[in-house]
Structure 1
């Protein structure tokens, strides 16, 4: 599923390609690209959840103070290892993520139907969330630089 999301992000979102595309046409393209139908449906459903978050529909969270600490549920700690949780904390400390965007990221991570989740996957989810939340252009640019620097072996 992460492969499909990354493919869609790089092909349609990040490249400024035509964003108004028919869902059936998109599904056909993904099938031609070699993705499985069930995984395509999961990825599209995940993107619908992201759109719902952007519109403020699905996230109920308490606001914390600047010096409050996020306590992860058992399910979240099973999905997010220490490195992932540490990276989220780092991004909050350097002001790439706010409390709200962090919670959106965690929501979308928990919405993934995958057994394995890595730090690299986390970085892509963060990038997708920041791209889709208006007003986070600077944070998106910072995260994009971190992601592409990491791919070149500079960060993490």
Structure 2
């Protein structure tokens, strides 16, 4: 599913540039994605679109997010730490954080990998028509093992 999401991000500059589901399914199939992977991604994107529509401005600057035990187990320490990093950097306001957490929880299975969470964050920015700044894009795209230390 995450490969489909990355493909959409790279090929459609905003969500409303995507064709309807039927045409998009045909295009994604032609590129080589499996039908179950496509359906899972499209269902996930429908949930993201709903969350993006309900996106409202800022919550209180001093708001504090307490993660439930289930969220802690599903997201994992690395993902929660990354979300906190984005919040402290001032690029992930509380309402966007909640969309990220909601969409992360919509992924079935065990603990979420940090790389998958980064794709979710990227897709949340994409769905809201916002471009993260260059340093944040670097955090979202560059694997830590590929970073050069100067």
Q: Secondary structure at the match of 2:40?
A: helix
Q: 1:123 aligns with which of 118, 123, 138?
A: 118
**2:74 matches 1:76:** no
State how far apart, in whole Å, the 2-side matches of 1:85 and 1:20 are. Answer: 30
Q: What runs of 5+ residues in structure 2 fail to find an aligned partner?
A: none
Secondary structure of 1:112's match?
A: coil
Residue number in structure 1 paired with 2:4: 4
> Does 2:138 align with 1:145?
yes
The aligned residue for residue 132 of structure 1 is 127
* Distance across 1 between alignment mates of 2:106 and 2:79: 16
CA distance in 2, matches of 1:129, 1:145: 16
Q: Deviations over 1:13-39 (max 9, x none)?
A: 37x9x9152322211222223322122
- The 1:101/1:13 distance shift into structure 2, 3 A limit, reads same
Q: TM-score, normalised by structure 2?
A: 0.80
CA contact (8 A) 1:96 1:142 kept: no
Cα 1:69–1:111 shift into 2, 3 Å: same
Change (3 A) 1:113 1:13: farther
Count residues with an aligned counterpart: 146
Match of residue 108 from structure 2: 113
Kindly indicate whether structure 1 or structure 2 has the higher relative contact order, using CA contacts under 8 Å at least 6 residues apart.
Answer: 2
The CA RMSD over aligned residues, in Å, is 2.8
Q: 1:55 to 1:124 in 2, by over 3 A?
A: same
Contact 1:130 1:140 in 2 (8 A): no
The worse-fitting range, judged by mean Cα deviation, of 123-132 and 97-106 is 123-132
